[in-house]
Structures are given as C-alpha cells and as structure tokens.
Amino acid sequence: MSSFSSFEIARSGMYVSQRGLYVTGHNISNVNTPGYVRQQAMIADYAPRQFGQVGQIGLGADIQQTRQIRDQFLDNMFRNESQLLGHAEARKKMVEEVQTILSEPSDRGLNTVINQFFESWHELAKDPGSLTVRATVRQRGSAFADIVNHMGRQLDTLQRDLNTEIQIKINEVNHIASEIANLNSKILLNESSKDQANDFRDQRNLLLDDLAKLISVDIYERPNGMVDVSIDGMHLVGREKTETIIADHNKPNSYFLSPKWERTDRFVYLKGGTLKGLIEARGDVAGYKGSVENGSVVEKPDLADDVEEFKFDPSSNNIIPELRRGLNMLVNLMVRQVNELHRQGVGIDGSTNVDFFTKIDNTLSFEMGNIRVNEALNDDDGLNKIVAAATNQVPGDNVVAQGIVELRRERFLKAGNLNVTTDDFYNAIITWVATTGQEAGRIAENQEMLTKQIQNKKEAISGVSMDEEMTHMMRFQHAYNASARVINIVDEMINRIVNHMGIVGR
C-alpha cells in the first residue's frame, strides 16, 4: 500500500470531525428554534481494500448522512390528539362566551328579570286599581323585552364573529397548504442530490402540526421525501400542488359559511380540528332571519298546539342554535300565555282584547329580537289599558292579574319528557349550557395534558440538549486534533525516508 494512503485516512478523520462540529454547532444555534429537531452526523468507515498478502486495510471514515432524531410515531400521535384539542378548545371558548351573555346566576340575568315581571303583576293583583303599580308592570315588561332582545342580538353577533373566524381559518388552511407544497419542492430538489434537507423538513413538520390542529388531515410521505395531505380522501396537498378550499354559503339563502372544495364544488367533510369546533359552535345550519334550523320557532294558530309541541331536549352539537331554540320557546309560550289572559280582561277605561306584548316584525314569531310591550300601553292613557280585572263591574277585581301571576307556577312548558314551570324550563337551559361547557372544558383540559405529554416525549427525543452537544463538541475537537497529529507523524516518517535514509557513507 502506498504510504500516502495514511494521509488520506487522517484527512478523512479530520473531515468527519469537522462535519461533526458543524452539526453540533447547528444544533446549539437552533436550541430555541420552534419545531427544530436535533441532527446527528452518522459516521461510518470506508469499505476496506485488499492489499495482496497484507490483507484488508481500512481507508478511514466518512459521513453517511446527517439525520434527524425524530420519532414518526410520536409525530402522528401528536397530530391526532391536536385535532381533538383544537375541536374541544373551540367549543370551550364559545360556551364561555355564551355564559357571559346569559350572565347567570346574577341580578342582571333573564331569570331575575322574569321574577321581577311576575312580581309586578303580583303587586297589581293586590292593588288592581293603582296606576302607579301599572306603570311598574309596564316598566318590568319593557325590561323583559329589552333583555330578551339584547340576548338575541348578542347571540347574532357571536354567530357573525364565529362565521368570520371560520373564513379566517379556511384562509389559514390554504396558506399552510401552499407553504407545505412549496417546501415539498425544495426538499425534492435538495434530496435528489443525495443530501438531507433537514431544515426544510423541520419547517414542513411544524406546518403539518399547525394544520392538523386546524382541520382533520391524513398525511403520507412519499419515498422521494414529499408529503401528500388529504382530507377524507381528497388531496389538499399532492406533491407540489394544492387544492383550494373556499368559504361558501352552506345552504340556499344562508349567510353562514362552510369550507368547500373549489374545484369539485363539494363541502369539505370535517372529522375534527378547530374548524369543526367553530362550525359546531356557530351551528352547521342555515343562517338567516327566521331560520328554524338556527333556533326560530313557528307558531300555530292555536296556542295549545304549541304548548304540546315545543319541547327543549337538545340532541345536536349545534350549540348556539340549540340554545336559541330553547330561549325562543320560553319567550314565545310565556308571551303568548300572558297575551291570552290579558286579552280576556278589561282595562280601567273599558278597553278589551288588548295584547300586552306585540311583535316588532309581524312576519316572524314571538322570539328573541321580536318582542316589545304594546305601544298602545304607552303614555298615561296606556296605563288604563293594562288589564287586572276580568270585568269592570266588580270593584277590586284582580282575576286577570292573578291569572298572570299563576303562570309562573303553571307547568305549560316541556323540558325533555317533563312538564315544567318557566323557572324550571329556564334552569334546564342554563344547566344544559353549564354541562356542555364543563364537558368541553374537561375534554380540552385532558387533551391539552395529553398533547403536552406527547410533546415532552418528542422533546426528550428530538430536542437539543446543551450538555450533550457540549460533550459532542469536545469529542469531535479531540478527534480532529488526533487526526491532525497523525498527519504530522506520517509527515515525519516520510521525511525520514526521503531525506535521511541512504546517505550513510557518503
């Protein structure tokens, strides 16, 4: 074997140590980079060579690849759990907003206003001829209508905000998909030359994690390093190309938006993620004024028919529409019962057949946003039209006022299979909201804990340890110095042969 082969062996040792130091320095520099996975220089010896009778002689070392220390199984687990986390967090956040709107229990909530309304009628029953008490009844009726309408407007605003957020998330999905496709191209270009595009892979994996929390996806990596991302079998990312998702109206005449494939004009089927949670929170229903799907009620001419049919028994995941439906049933039946009794009585001025509440829009049913105290009851003359008596022939007659007071104890509402009072019915709604919030909060808390545990395991495997990297740095430094020392020794040996051998006797 040529003596100069020793130089090559030592040179390869210096090269390997130098590359190892590069990798170590790169790891240290990115210790705080989000999504960065530590890298490792994989060192292997050159294939030995046969030299005659000498036998096999090693030819040094080489870097086979710079690999990432990543556990694909943990990556898949993290993304699967992130989908559930995103879904639960969206529902939890929305229920907290709903609880703020309901403001229960508090002296500002609907329950307090209903109590005050019936208490004013109780006072009128005790003094049926008092105009002062009638003014209180009118004021408490207006307070009831105001808070009901205000709650309706707040729920409308919340749904509009969720609708806007859904559109933002759809745009975010498209942006992430475009970035993943772009990184696919870069990875293919770099790895086609047998290099490892580890930094591009880190960026892509971080994007895949973000995408998985937004929307339920399936991810497949091709042998050439590119990934395909699909949603229910439909490619969102295929190699370097993407399919666009648009925000389109989910039903005819609806102003609510849902994700739809632009090319096929089919709605995207969602199995999890933040986007699905937002749609369930807002309601996967037709959104327009008077939409039964969105919680409006349809009145029948006969009040008794609606008393039998209107039942609060939530069965879907559409949270705001279910809440709106329950509140609208409460408002509708309570208002119509009050009106029916009020029409049967006689005012101080002899007026009859006067409704206490009227609709703002007569094309719609009595519901949140469509109720007010009859304008005929305004001003001082209107107080004389507020009914307490069944007839004006009997002094102190309080039959109608007492009948309205009794409505509070009458079981004319249905919650599940039970006939309940207004208080019980409203408590059933509040209990359902609280239970839904607790369930969403518990799931979100459990999922957050689970994803953190998986993330910690990922960090334990893929994260950069400064102590470990400093150990590698010293190891490569010493190896580099040792290889350099080998070159010096071989140089001295050759110098001895060339310059000092064969000169004895000259």
Identity of the residue numbered 233: G
Contacts of 99 (CB under 8 A, 6+ apart): 433, 434, 437
pLDDT at residue 248, rounded to an integer:
93
DSSP 209-229: HHHHHHS--EEEE-TTS-EEE
Residues 356, 357, 362, 364: what is their CA dihedral angle, to the nearest 10 degrees?
A: -140
Among candidates 333, 277, 259, which has minimal Cα distance to 89?
277
- DSSP-H helix ranges across 39-71: none
Q: Are 350 and 396 in contact (CB under 8 A)?
A: no
Q: Are 340 and 303 in contact (CB under 8 A)?
A: yes
Integer Cα distance of 392 and 380 in angstroms = 19
Contacts of 91 (CB under 8 A, 6+ apart): 277, 280, 281, 319, 436, 440, 444
Q: What 3-state class would DSSP assign to 433?
A: helix
Q: Band of the pLDDT at 1, cuts 50, 70, 90?
A: very low
CA–centroid distance for 128 within its chain:
55
**Nearest 5°: CA angle at 95, between 118 and 173?**
150
Integer Cα distance of 313 and 293 in angstroms = 15
H or E element at residue 88? helix 72-102
**Nearest 5°: CA angle at 296, between 337 and 333?**
10
Integer Cα distance of 117 and 136 in angstroms = 9
Cβ-based neighbour number of residue 372 at 10 Å: 15
What's the average model confidence in pLDDT over 141-162? 94
pLDDT at residue 279, rounded to an integer:
94
Q: Are 283 and 320 in contact (CB under 8 A)?
A: yes
CA dihedral (338, 340, 343, 346) positive or negative = negative
Integer Cα distance of 187 and 138 in angstroms = 73
Question: What is the pLDDT of the chain when averaged over all its residues?
Answer: 89
Q: Are 388 and 345 in contact (CB under 8 A)?
A: yes
Q: Starting at the edge strand that comes first in sequence, how are the strands of the sheet with 418-420 ordered?
A: 311-312, 413-415, 418-420
pTM: 0.86
Q: Are 487 and 10 in contact (CB under 8 A)?
A: yes
What's the average model confidence in pLDDT over 13-33? 90
Q: Are 191 and 178 in contact (CB under 8 A)?
A: no
Is residue 365 packed enough to be buried (19+ CB in 10 Å), middle (13-18) or exposed (0-12)?
buried
Q: For the chain, which residues make up each domain, given as ranges?
A: 5-69+463-500, 74-97+162-288, 109-158+295-440
Integer Cα distance of 30 and 2 in angstroms = 43
Q: Band of the pLDDT at 51, cuts 50, 70, 90?
A: low
Q: Are 283 and 274 in contact (CB under 8 A)?
A: no
The 10 Å CB-count burial string (b at 16+, else e) for 331-351 is bbbbbbbbbebbeebbbbeeb
Q: Band of the pLDDT at 391, cuts 50, 70, 90?
A: confident
pLDDT surpassing 70 at residue 242: yes
Contacts of 481 (CB under 8 A, 6+ apart): none
Q: What are the tens digits of pLDDT across the range 405-446? A: 999 999 999 998 899 999 999 999 999 999 999 999 999 999
Contacts of 30 (CB under 8 A, 6+ apart): 36, 464
First to last CA, the chain: 30
Q: What are the tens digits of pLDDT across the range 319-364? A: 999 999 999 999 999 999 999 999 999 988 888 999 999 999 999 9
pLDDT at residue 66, rounded to an integer:
84
